[in-house]
Amino acid sequence: MRLNCKWLVILFVLTVLPLSGCGFVQKLKARNNLNKGVKAFADQKYEAAAQYFEKSLQLDPNFESARMYLATSFTYQFVPGSNKPENIALANKAIKIFEEVVAKAKDPSQPNADAMLSLATLYYQMNEYDKSKEWCGKVQKVYPQNAEAYYRIAVMDYKEASDKTGPKGENVADLKPDDKARIQKNIDEGIKDLEKALEIRPDYCDAMSYANLLWREKAKFEKDPKAKAQINREADKLFQRELICKKKVQEQEAQKPKKMVVK
């Protein structure tokens, strides 16, 4: 699950905004450091970028973009799966700063969705699924039309189910009743969330992919052959829908004008 960084696409945008008031020089220096940090970030020099963003925030503590970039630069240095103290420290730094972005929202009813989804991503990468789901839930509450929040919960539901059931469902019979009930509940939750995601974004190919996988997880618990076959047919429909979706995306990409490469 990749970090949501669509806002990173627009580089240096803040430099064109007018500066006024008593903090003119400080704000100008803050934006200069931001631009240097963005350049370092684009060059994948994340540690150097973080230093520029920290300086930018020292000069202008209310500079939300600098705070977002700083948290993201720590996130990009974090290595999922590594329990080294310095690695966990990077994740915790990013979490603390993303939480500050959310808390410092100018309009408390409209917190930064990218920061919230970034928190969900970090907790997912740290295998703290309950916290990841909690942040996805917060996004759903504030931004009910955010398809990605529903998708991310479903991904976690699938991962837990597939890890427990086995590739062919060979572990289902050995599951404890409570575990079995919880997994089945999560599978149904994931399917429902993906239906919502696809309602919001009908061309969400990845959502179709995980819907297919979750229906197949559901089939592993079904003992009646006819019912199992029906569930697998639902999965097959989603698989075919995914193929059509991806083909359409590829065709659209092929039709886009090619960028000229200057040598």
**What is the tens place of the pLDDT at every residue in 7-50?**
454 444 444 445 455 477 888 999 999 999 999 999 999 999 99
Q: 3-state DSSP helix/strand/coil percent for the chain, to nearest 5?
A: 75, 0, 25
Q: In this predicted model, which residue has the larger pLDDT, 74 or 4?
A: 74
Q: In this predicted model, which residue has the larger pLDDT, 154 or 19?
A: 154
Mean pLDDT over each residue of the chain, to the nearest integer: 91
Which among 235, 226, 240, 134 is positioned nearest to 194, based on CA atoms?
Answer: 235
**What is the tens place of the pLDDT at every residue in 204-254?**
999 999 999 999 999 999 999 999 999 999 999 999 999 999 999 999 988
Cα(16)–Cα(1) distance, rounded to whole angstroms?
33
Retrieve residue 136's tokens: 């996805």
Alpha helices in the chain (DSSP H): 24-42, 46-59, 64-77, 85-103, 113-125, 129-142, 147-165, 177-200, 205-220, 225-255
| pLDDT on residue 12 | 42
User: Dihedral angle at the C-alpha atoms of 80, 41, 74, 151, nearest 10 degrees?
Assistant: -50
Helix (H/G/I), strand (E/B), else coil: 11: coil
> So where are the chain's domains?
23-131, 145-243
Retrieve residue 164's tokens: 């427990």
Cα(186)–Cα(123) distance, rounded to whole angstroms?
18
| pLDDT on residue 24 | 77
**What is the tens place of the pLDDT at every residue in 165-218?**
999 999 999 999 999 999 999 999 999 999 999 999 999 999 999 999 999 999
pLDDT band, very low/low/confident/very high, at 261 (cuts 50, 70, 90): very low
233 sits in which H/E element: helix 225-255
Q: Say if domain 23-131 classifies as CATH 1.25.40.10.
A: yes
**What is the tens place of the pLDDT at every residue in 77-117?**
999 999 999 999 999 999 999 999 999 999 999 999 999 99
| pLDDT on residue 25 | 84
